[in-house]
Structure 1
Amino acid sequence: MTPAVEWRGVSIHFGRTTALDALDLTVGRGETLALLGPSGSGKSTALKALAGFVRPSAGRVFLGGEDVTDRPPHRRGLGVVVQSYALFPHLRVDANVAFGLTARRTPRGETGRRVAEVLDLVGMGEYARRFPRELSGGQQQRVALARALAIRPDVLLLDEPLSALDATLREDMLAELLRLRAELPDTTLVYVTHDQGEALALADRIAVMRDSRLVETGPCEQLYRRPASEFTASFLGAANLIPVDLVSDGTPATVRLGGRVLTAEPTGALGPGPVALGVRPHRVGVGEPGEDTLPALVRAVQWRGTGYRLDLVLATGETIRAEVPEAFPVGTAVGVSIPDGCPLVGVGT
């Protein structure tokens, strides 16, 4: 099957600044890919190269097997939704949604039918005659989504579409996007975000980016449970990275931590350098000190509504984070338990 989207060795430079470095990435038809990374990682630049808003300094961009690197944005047939909504304030909702169709000289009758169809699809049919200023932020984002869908794009690009919304609206819009994805199974989605929760909930596959480069890519559950790099382990799920001594590099591997021997799952090429266990905060056990636990002190406590977040200092000097149902006073001596089977990653990857 011909891929829906391809970046082939795409680099983008602004003077001496590298905004994107030799990106090689493919997205299949009907697949939802999340480009995930911190600010400045290159994820939005990759999306802009795909949309045609910036031209690659090197490499080529393909849509449906066709080289579109030199094609202007309006001839790429893409739907684009951005963080700021970008609605025309002087146009009513229906006219905003019809804008792309009008630009393509779609017959008036067909335009009206499609506008009504996509507004109903995003639950905004009754707001067709309102102006953007009369809508909430979530409603405006739904209109922006309807406008992108009205042209029936094969590929829909979403650049941080929920980051300007409050927490409740983000949850509502995420549910809306999940529903739309189910109703449009042949539409390819490329979703840019720095929010790992959005990426894990919506995407089939995640591409993790850092410092303008692709770090690794894979199915969501694989990257969460078996990250192949130190950066992915810490960024996706906020894992504690605890240095350990490698005793045996088999599968499973055996490691030593503070006098205890644990099994671990190697997730990538470890190399000759130091290694660390990637331990999610919710998997860290905290209780009374004992022979089978690691001694630690509670340095900070935060109530998180459903439980408590503890910052702990191990006797080895390492600081780790735990999520537990009960609080421990700051300064309390506790025992920390780490389960077998945590992912083992090379430090510096």
Structure 2
Amino acid sequence: MTPAVEFRDVSVHFGRTTALAGLDLAVARGETLALLGPSGSGKSTALKALAGFVRPSSGRVFLAGQDVTDLPPHKRGLGVVVQSYALFPHMRVAANVAFGLNARRAPRAEVASRVAEVLDLVGMGAYARRYPRELSGGQQQRVALARALAIRPDVLLLDEPLSALDAALREDMIAELLRLRAELPDTTLVYVTHDQGEALALADRIAVMRDSRLVETGPCEQLYRRPADGFTASFLGAANLIPVEVIHDGTPSTVRLGGRELTAEPTGALTPGQAVALGVRPHRVGVGAPGADTLPALVRAVQWRGSGYRLDLELEATGGTIRAEVANVDGLAVGAPVGVSIPDGCPLVGVGS
């Protein structure tokens, strides 16, 4: 089936600066793809190349099989919601939402009907006569969504639309976007974010980006549970990357850590003696009294996080620091010796041989 969106070896350069390098990526119709990465990773540049706001230095961009690389933004038929919402301050809500329809010279009766329909869809039907300055941040975000949806786009682009909202409102808007997804099953969403929680909550698939390049892509659960790349493991879920040595290749594999043997899930071909990293999420690190069945460590930092504690622990076996999340610390202080337990079944991430 022809992808709704496709990047073919797309690069973007600004002078000597590479903002996007050789992106090959396809998004299916009705799929929600999250472009996830830190600032400067190239995710927003990819979205702008798709929207037509920047022109690729090389490569091609396709929508539903049509090469749109040379088309201006207004001819691509995309809905776009940017971080600042970009509402027209001198226009009332209804006029903002109608802007794209009026630009397409839609009949007046159709414009009025469609504006009412999409405002109701996002829960803003009672605010049609207000100006943007009379709305909260979350309400402005809903209006921006309504404006993007008014033209019935096959593809909706969202560039960090929740980053300006407070934590509680962000959770409400994630729920709102999930509801919209369910009501618009044929609409393809490309969602740019640096927030892993948003990506995991909203996306069918995540494309992880770093230093202007695509690192890894796959279904959310796969990338979270079995990332193939070390950056994915650490950025998506803040996994500890603990150096281990492969003893036996297989499914599961056996690795050695500080004189102890653990079973682990491989994410690629391994050879005995190979140096790899064991990806262990902080909440899976066990912390207790030192003992024969644990790995010795020292507490280097203790942070109370409200729902529990975050510990930075220096592992004697590696000399490196790992992070643990525990419900209580039972009086543990910085410098205290502890015993660390690492569970079987964590994924392996190759770091060289």
Structure 2 counterpart of 1:331, one-letter code: G
* Structure 1 counterpart of 2:344, from 323, 330, 340: 340
Return the offset for 1:249. 2.0
Structure 1 counterpart of 2:238, one-letter code: A
Structure 1 counterpart of 2:243, one-letter code: P
* 8 Å contact from structure 1 (residues 270, 345) kept in 2: no
TM-score normalised by L of structure 2 = 0.97
CA offset digits 1:284-338 (Å, max 9, x no partner): 0000111010001111111111111111111131100000111122222110000
Return the offset for 1:110. 0.3
Give ranges in structure 2 of 5+ residues lacking alignment. none
The DSSP-based 3-state class of the residue aligned with 1:47 is: helix
Aligned to 2:287: 286
Structure 1 counterpart of 2:302, one-letter code: V
* 8 Å contact from structure 1 (residues 83, 164) kept in 2: yes
Aligned to 2:333: 329
Return the offset for 1:13. 0.8
Structure 1 counterpart of 2:115, one-letter code: V
In 1: Cα distance, 2:30 partner to 2:75 partner: 21
In 2: Cα distance, 1:143 partner to 1:125 partner: 10
What is the 5 A alignment of 1:16-27? 16-27=16-27
CA offset digits 1:91-137 (Å, max 9, x no partner): 00000000000000011100000000000000000011000000000
Structure 2 counterpart of 1:311, one-letter code: D
Aligned to 1:80: 80
* 8 Å contact from structure 1 (residues 297, 312) kept in 2: yes
What is the 5 A alignment of 1:1-349? 1-269=1-269, 274-316=275-317, 317-327=319-329, 328-347=332-351
The DSSP-based 3-state class of the residue aligned with 1:286 is: strand
Structure 1 residue runs of 4 or more that deviate by more than 4 Å after TM superposition:
269-273
Change (3 A) 1:270 1:49: farther
The DSSP-based 3-state class of the residue aligned with 1:130 is: coil
In 1: Cα distance, 2:222 partner to 2:144 partner: 32
Q: Percent identity?
A: 85
In 2: Cα distance, 1:344 partner to 1:253 partner: 9
* 8 Å contact from structure 1 (residues 3, 64) kept in 2: yes
In 1: Cα distance, 2:12 partner to 2:211 partner: 13
In 2: Cα distance, 1:297 partner to 1:274 partner: 24
In 2: Cα distance, 1:207 partner to 1:269 partner: 22
* 8 Å contact from structure 1 (residues 229, 268) kept in 2: no
Return the offset for 1:273. 5.8
In 1: Cα distance, 2:38 partner to 2:237 partner: 13
* 8 Å contact from structure 2 (residues 246, 274) kept in 1: no
